[in-house]
Amino acid sequence: MDDTDIIGDLTNVLYTPEDIAERIAELGAKIDADYADKGLVLVGVLNGAVMVMADLSRALRSHCTMDWMAISSYGSGTQSSGVVRILKDLNTDISGKHVLVVEDIIDTGLTLSYLISNLQSRDPASLRIMTMFRKPEAARNAVDVAYVGFDIPNEFVVGYGLDFDGRYRNLRSVGTLAPHIYS
């Protein structure tokens, strides 16, 4: 599968489109088996989870609905503070529903732990997390992630929904940016 010209901005490709598709298929099968006919609500976190949501939802063979949240984390610079503001809330009521939060990446997990306690207060029947990528820092926070695509090193990665300054989300591969791009 071909990628765009912007793949030349990567120093290192960690995952090809084929790697990603294969892993999504595996996770889809697992999620299908776990939820059977329960009727799942997939909650995507904008903007990064758009690609994962599109692929994971279509890897499922059972019914699901999709809804979205947009959050912004307060805090200085690149460090996640865990204090979160909801920019766009769900359109649907999740009370009594089986909810799976779909994330692009978990770094410290601070953003997610806020989101989870917020969603938990709405009384879903169940609440689990799926993330495509997870960094080592996440282990320090007690966020229970049911489905993980890939555990990755503590490096800044782009592609497949992940951005640098809003760009690279449309890259089909995932990798690390060449230093000349951000310095």
Residues contributing to the site for ligand XMP (CB under 6 A): 48, 80, 104-112, 156-158, 162-163
Q: 28 or 109, CB closer to ligand XMP?
A: 109
Report in angstroms how near the CB of residue 69 gets to ligand XMP at its nearest. Answer: 12
Tokens at 179, concatenated: 């230093």
Nearest to ligand XMP of 105, 119 (CB atom): 105
Site membership for Mg ion, residue 159 (CB under 5 A): no
Of 107, 151, 163, 165, which one is the catalytic site residue? 107
* DSSP character at residue 142: T
The footprint of Mg ion on residues 12-51 (CB under 5 A) is 48
Structure tokens, 173? 């591969």
Beta carbons within 8 Å of 44's beta carbon, 6+ residues apart: 50, 52, 53, 66, 67, 68, 69, 102
**34 given a catalytic annotation:** no
Q: What is the DSSP letter of 56?
A: H
Measured from the CB atom, the residue of 106 and 148 that comes closer to ligand XMP is: 106
Q: Is the preceding peptide bond at 47 cis, omega within 30 degrees of 0?
A: yes
* CA 162, chain centre distance (Å): 9
**Residue 161 near Mg ion by CB under 5 A:** no
Residues 45-84 as x/- pattern, contact with Mg ion by CB under 5 A: ---x------------------------------------
- Please list the residues that pair with 174 across neighbouring strands: 15
Task: Provide, rounded to whole angstroms, the least separation between the CB of residue 88 and Mg ion.
Answer: 13
Task: Please give the structure tokens belonging to residue 83.
Answer: 């204090």
